[in-house]
Amino acid sequence: MMKFLVADDHAIVRKGLVQVLREEFSTAEITEVASGSEVFHQLSKQIWDIILLDISMPGRNGIEILKQIRANGIKAPILMISMHSEEQYALRALRAGASGFLNKESATEELLVAIRKVLSGKKYVSASLTERLTETFGEKTDHKQLSDREMQVFQLIAMGKTVSEIATEISLSVNTISTYRTRILDKLKLKNNSELTRYALDHKLI
């Protein structure tokens, strides 16, 4: 039997979500909670197939709850729901470990599509948000715009080598390597070496 955990501090919203779920998943076990502490209490009791989690929870907000759930090693798909727009929270939620993001004003059909997608192990974002994210990353964080030499320096920095070590390794001056580093950070809109390393890991470049 499938188990759903619905976490939202607004009773009306919870009831609406539960009604939709009961109509579509008639044999499922559905539990409602209204706070972060109740979420963790339920997570300690059993394994859930999916968690619907509101971002605007009292006390610790949904993003913080989400981060803690993932830090605790819980792998269940988590669909974040919010009255706020995608632009404000979707990317933050996905980065924090959410399986998807859905605005509360979305149609019932879209909610069911989102639930089925995350239950299958995939991520869910709306078509409009996917388009915006593609545009954003295309503009701001495209390593394809780096030259071959810049890519080489980029990967060496990401592997933890110092400017001096890189200069020695590829037979260039320290000043030249520093110039490359500045140019790489600028092109990728990154601030420091740790962000550069994170980018390299996220894109499987090292």
Write the CATH number for 44. Answer: 3.40.50.2300
Residue, of 202 and 196, whose pLDDT is higher: 196
Indicate whether 183 and 91 sit together in one domain: no
Residue 50 contacts residue 115 (beta carbons within 8 Å): yes
Residue 102 contacts residue 79 (beta carbons within 8 Å): yes
> What confidence score (pLDDT) does residue 137 get?
52
Indicate whether 20 and 77 sit together in one domain: yes
Q: 13-59 pLDDT, tens per residue? A: 999 999 999 999 999 999 999 999 999 999 999 999 999 999 988 77
- The average pLDDT across 180-185 equals 95
Q: How confident is the model at residue 133 (pLDDT cuts 50, 70, 90)?
A: low
Domain around 157: 141-202
Among residues 107, 137, 167, which one ends one of the domains?
137
Q: 56-83 pLDDT, tens per residue? A: 887 788 999 999 999 999 999 999 999 8
> What confidence score (pLDDT) does residue 107 get?
86
Per-residue CA distances from 179 to 124, 188, 205 (Å): 40, 14, 21
> What confidence score (pLDDT) does residue 203 get?
83
Among residues 137, 161, 185, which one ends one of the domains?
137
- Hunting for tokens 């200069």 — which residue is that? 167
Indicate whether 14 and 89 sit together in one domain: yes
In angstroms, the first-to-last Cα distance of the chain is 42
> What confidence score (pLDDT) does residue 60 get?
81
| Closest CA relative to residue 80, chosen from 52, 112, 118 | 52
Report the predicted TM-score, pTM, of the whole model to 2 decimal places.
0.65
> What confidence score (pLDDT) does residue 206 get?
83
> Per the structure, how many domains does the chain have?
2
Among residues 85, 114, 137, which one ends one of the domains?
137
Reported for 36-40, long-range contacts at CB under 8 A and 24+ positions apart, including other chains, are 36/7, 36/60, 36/64, 36/65, 38/7, 39/5, 39/7, 39/65, 39/69, 40/65, 40/68, 40/69
What's the whole-number average pLDDT of the chain?
A: 90
- The average pLDDT across 134-138 equals 55
